[in-house]
Amino acid sequence: MSFVAVERLNKYYRVGTQQIHVLRDLDLAVERGEMVAVVGASGVGKSTLLHALGGLDRVDGGSIRIQDQELASISDAALVEFRNRNVGFVFQFHHLLPEFDALENVEMPMRIAREPVNDARHRATTLLGRVGLGERLRHRPGMLSGGEQQRVAVARAFVTEPKLLFADEPTGNLDSTTGEHVIDLLFEMNRERGATLVLVTHDSELASRCDRRLHIAAGEITRED
């Protein structure tokens, strides 16, 4: 079985009295260590799919199996535990906590997972050095540029040594040069650590750097290349 195996996935949202069918009997398979891009126009279900795969959102039908874990069959508490220990996220907006400095932000997933404080501090410090922010450990997000904030977010995504990494338009809020640097860093670190990467993007050039591209329209994967 594939590392990530999705069968007949369905997701609905209700807007007022209207029910919107966002994902429609979607099937998907991703192998361990693959880097896969999910591409398509705005509003076709790309981010919804990513949130479902990452355990951020429950679905209304179908199966999501990651390694040997069926996400639909576990409790909310177990899902949070699974996500904290196995999944890393990089979003379009960095979602750093403004009251904490860079080191504290990167440590946070390990602290939530109740890992030893010294281990969290050491790993966060190492990763911030890896992303070129070893001199910015005590800077809060408001003291960092947009590109630096996103590099902190990349370090935070890797701090728990996740098996799966999900990136949702990770350069969408950056200028082209800064975005390219962040993506280079993300790909380099992912190769070093052997995580499985699923990347949502509307950027065809960025998508071309992945092993496969899955094209989604109206909640369905229409083709792959």
CA pair distance 41, 64, nearest whole angstrom:
24
Residue 153, domain extent:
33-59+71-224
Residue 10 counted as domain residue? no
Residue 12 counted as domain residue? no
Residue 64 counted as domain residue? no
Residue 66 counted as domain residue? no
- Per-residue 3-state assignment (H helix, E strand, C coil) for the chain: CCCEEEEEEEEEEEECCEEEEEEEEEEEEECCCCEEEEECCCCCCHHHHHHHHCCCCCCCEEEEEECCEEHHHCCHHHHHHHHHHHEEEECCCCCCCCCCCHHHHHHHHHHHCCCCHHHHHHHHHHHHHHCCCCCCCCCCHHHCCHHHHHHHHHHHHHCCCCCEEEEECCCCCCCHHHHHHHHHHHHHHHHHHCCEEEEECCCHHHHCCCCEEEEEECCEEEEEC
Quick one: pLDDT at residue 225?
A: 87
Residue 45 counted as domain residue? yes
Query: Going edge to edge, which strands form the sheet with 196-200?
Result: 87-90, 164-168, 196-200, 35-39, 212-217, 220-224
Q: How many Å is the maximal CA-CA distance in the chain?
A: 52
Residue 134 counted as domain residue? yes
Residue 102 counted as domain residue? yes
Q: How many domains does the chain have?
A: 1
Q: What is the pLDDT along the chain (225 residues), one digit of tens a residue?
A: 789 999 999 999 888 888 889 999 999 999 999 999 999 888 788 889 999 998 888 898 999 999 888 998 889 998 888 888 889 998 877 789 999 999 999 999 999 888 999 999 999 999 999 888 999 999 999 999 988 998 899 899 999 988 899 998 887 777 788 788 888 888 888 888 888 999 998 888 888 889 999 999 888 899 988
Residue 11 counted as domain residue? no
Q: Which amino acid, residue 213?
A: R
Q: What is the CATH number of the domain that holds 115?
A: 3.40.50.300
